[in-house]
Amino acid sequence: MSFAGVSLIRDGRLWPSASATNDAGAASGYHLLVVEGYSRTKADVLTGKYIESRSFRVGGYLWFLKYYPNGQASGYADFISASLILAQDVATPVKAKRDDFENSEHLKDDSCTIRCDVVVIEDVNAKATASPFVTVPLPDMQRHFADLLASKEGADVTFKVGGEKFSAHRCVLAARSRVFKAELFGPMKEGASAAGAIHVEDMEVQVFRAILAFIYNDSEPELEKGDDEDVIWQQLLVAADRYDLRRLKLMCEDNLCGFINVNTTTAILALAERHGCDGLKKACYDFLATPGNVKAVVATDGFDHLISSFPSVVKELMVMLAP
């Protein structure tokens, strides 16, 4: 079965759409978010704020779209983005560079349409034995682990970071990170007793808190917004690499791609080279592929540091830019 629906944004707000339809049994379909008056939404909706579409069902699940005319965070102000949201708070974000979008054929007469295709793949084995009278809820293990961290119940290890203490559970940390496993159970064990604390050096409190949140939730940490948000993401990437949390490291790479500009490129490129972040490195090279950008970056003090510390990166960049 299939589904099609439409949500209309006009004059900066959501309007009723007579063409919207629903099919609770649909296994695939799409939803159109029609934006009439793109410039109005760009002017009226602040960075980090969004306009929400009407909800729609596909495959028995409730979905909706969030449209961000000025990006989802301060570091994404140069992007427009949209997120597909499952009612249980699972988001799939998509973003596009604003200049590319505004110069493309997708924006016509100050209007555009965002199409979101959804395919729900059912578990064939589960469907064969499922009762039509019972609805099994989605997994909520992450919520239970988050509650465990918040309650500190059964915690058997304490970390001290920058004067603040964090309680956690050895088995959870060891199961999620082989580095923590070695520190807490293996030959690297630091010998801290239940009453003692393991001191974590060279790490901000906010960063370690985000590390624990990811370990227990397996979802992207929510960092405080501000002028130094890109710095926090850089520090979190270093910490993720330190504890061998590869999924979190990729999340950091993805977020840092949105902070690449003339003032940050050299620092982010150096970080990518130091920690083996190929995707982030390619994003920096993509930014530097524009002649105006590379000229501005070369004039910064950061480029001098890049030359002295990572000459191989500069050589690679020169080869890439050679005609």
pLDDT digits (tens, 9 = 90+) for 34-74: 898 899 999 999 888 889 888 777 777 778 888 889 888 76
pLDDT > 70: what percent of the chain? 85
Residue 83 lies in a domain: yes
**Domain ends where: 98, 128, 158?**
128
pLDDT at res. 2: 47
pLDDT digits (tens, 9 = 90+) for 175-188: 999 999 999 997 65
Greater pLDDT, 96 or 88: 96
Q: Which of 13-22, 138-147, 202-211 has the highest mean pLDDT?
A: 202-211
Mean pLDDT throughout 123-147?
A: 73
The boundaries of the domain holding residue 20 are 2-128
pLDDT digits (tens, 9 = 90+) for 254-267: 999 999 999 999 99
Q: What is the CATH number of the domain that holds 299?
A: 1.25.40.420
pLDDT at res. 193: 47
Q: CB within 8 A of 167, min separation 6: which ones? A: 152, 155, 157, 158
Q: List the structure tokens of 8.
A: 């209309």
Residue 45 lies in a domain: yes
Q: List the strands of the sheet with 157-161, edge to edge.
A: 164-168, 157-161, 198-199
pTM summary value:
0.61
Q: What is the CATH number of the domain that holds 147?
A: 3.30.710.10
By the 8 A CB rule, do 96 and 81 touch? yes
